Amino acid sequence: MTTEIQTIEDVRKIARDKLKGICGVYKDCDGDPGRLCQGQSYGRALGIGGIGSGTSFNNNFLALKKYKLKMKLVEEDFTPDTSYNFFGKMLSMPIMAASVAGVNSFGSDSLITEQEFCRSVVLGCKAAATLGWRGDTYTYSLENSYGINAIAEADGFGVKIVKPRDQETIIKFFKKAEKIDCVAVGVDIDGCGSYAMATHNKPVFKKSVEDIKELVSSTKLPIVIKGVMCVEDASKAVEAGASAIVVSNHGGRVLDHTPGTADVLPYIVAEIKGKIKIIVDGGIRTGYDVVKMLALGADSVLIGRDIIRAVVGAGTKGVKIHMEYMQNTLQKAMKMTNCKTLSDVALDILY
C-alpha cells in the first residue's frame, strides 16, 4: 500500500483515518481548546494534546503565528542551500525529528509498536538525510532500548535523549548510546514533570549544574539539555559544559500556562548565542515556521507531533515524505526572503 503513497496529503489522509478519536490531523495543529486532542476534559489521559487547559501547546502555535515574512524578490535567481552541520554530520536541513516516545501514551499503541515507531522515525529521517532523535518513557529500560536499537540499525545516525532519571541510569544509557556511535546524547530536563513517568511510578528528578557536569564528564559524546525555557537555565547549561540546548516546553505537555517557545527564544539567544548550539521546538509545522525560528536565532529545529502522524500514516516512507516536505518549504521560504544559505537567515526577514 505504501508504494502508492507519494505526497504529504496521502500520508495525512491515512493518519486521519487511523487516528480517529485520538488526533484530528487538522490543517492547523494549534492546541486550541476545541480540538479533538485537547477539549476541556480534565483528569483524562493526556493523549496527544497539551496538559491541563492546553494553553502551553496553543501558545507555541500563537507565538510563531504573530511573525510575518518579508518578501525580497528583485535579485538574481538562486537555489537556497539548506545544508546543516550538526556535530560533524552534514545534514540536508536544520530540521530533525524530536525525541517523541511512548506511542502507547498517545493512545495509538494498537496502530504501531514502539519498536516500529522508533525504526520509522530514525530510518525515515536518515532517508531524508537528516536525524531522528529518540526519547525515553516509562516502558523503556536498559534492556528494552527501542530508540537506541533503531539508531544502531541506522549505523549511529541519531540522537538519544533520556528522561531525568537517577544519574547512574542516565549514564548507563549514555554508555550504551556511545557504543553504537550515536551523534549526541542528552536529557530532557522538563521530563521531571512527565505525566507518563509520574503515573507509572518511574522516578524522575530536577537536575543541578553539578548533575549536568557529571553527565557531561561521563561520555565523549556531545550533551544536549532539552527543555530550556528561561535565560537562567540556558546559562546554567553553558556553565555545566553542555554542547547544545533545546528551547522547549515539551510540546506543552509538562506545565500549563508557559509562553510559546518563539516568545522566549530571543531572550535566550541574546544571552548565549555563539557559546552553545541553540535548537528549538514547539508549534513548528512547515519550513516557513522553521525560517522564522532561524531568524529569531535558533541554529536548528525539532518537529514532534507531525512525526507521529507521518509514522502512523506511512511508517518510514511517511517520515521521509514529511521531512522532504519540510525541506522543500524551507527552501521556498529562503528563496522568497532572499536567503541563499542558512547564515543569511536573520531578523531582518521578519515583520
C-beta neighbour count of 240 within 10 angstroms: 20
Query: How far, in Å, CA of 172 to CA of 191, rounded?
Result: 18
Give percent of the chain with pLDDT exceeding 90: 83
Residue matched to cell numbers 521556498:
332
What is the rounded CA–CA span in Å between residue 186 and residue 346? 28
Query: Residue 197: what pLDDT?
Result: 87
HSE value, Cβ hemisphere, 13 Å, CA-based, for 185: 28
Using CA atoms in the order 330, 11, 66, 275, what is the torsion angle rounded to 10 degrees? -50
Q: Is the dihedral of CA 188, 191, 196, 201 positive or negative?
A: positive
Q: Is the pTM of this model over 0.75?
A: yes
Mean pLDDT, residues 210-225? 98
Most confident range (mean pLDDT) of 37-41, 163-167, 195-199 is 163-167
Q: Could you tell me whether strands 84-86 and 223-228 are parallel, antiparallel, or unpaired per DSSP bridges? A: unpaired
CA distance to 135, 140, 160, 172, 179, per residue, from 165 (Å): 13, 12, 14, 11, 20
CA-CA-CA-CA dihedral for 147, 105, 63, 267, to nearest 10: -50
Are 109 and 98 within 8 A, CB to CB? no
- The predicted-structure confidence for 86-132, as pLDDT tens digits, reads as follows 999 999 999 999 999 987 767 666 688 999 999 999 999 999 999 99
Region 68-91: mean pLDDT is: 97
pLDDT at 4: 87
CA distances from 44 to 56, 109, 349 (A): 18, 17, 42
Please give the pLDDT value at position 3: 58
Lowest mean pLDDT among 51-55, 133-137, 153-157, 165-169: 51-55
Q: For residue 18, what are the CA distances in angstroms to 24, 42, 44, 123, 339?
A: 10, 24, 21, 22, 39
CB 189 within 8 A of CB 227: yes
Whether the Cβ atoms of residue 187 and residue 162 lie closer than 8 Å to each other: yes
Quick one: which of 345, 349, 329, 315 has its CA closest to 287? 329
- Amino acid letter, residue 18: K
- What's the rounded Cα separation, in Å, for the pair 180 and 4? 34
Average pLDDT, the chain: 94
User: Cell for 165?
Assistant: 532519571
CATH topology of domain 84-349: TIM Barrel (3.20.20)
Residue spans per domain, the chain: 84-349
Angle 208-247-106 from CA coordinates, rounded to 5°:
95
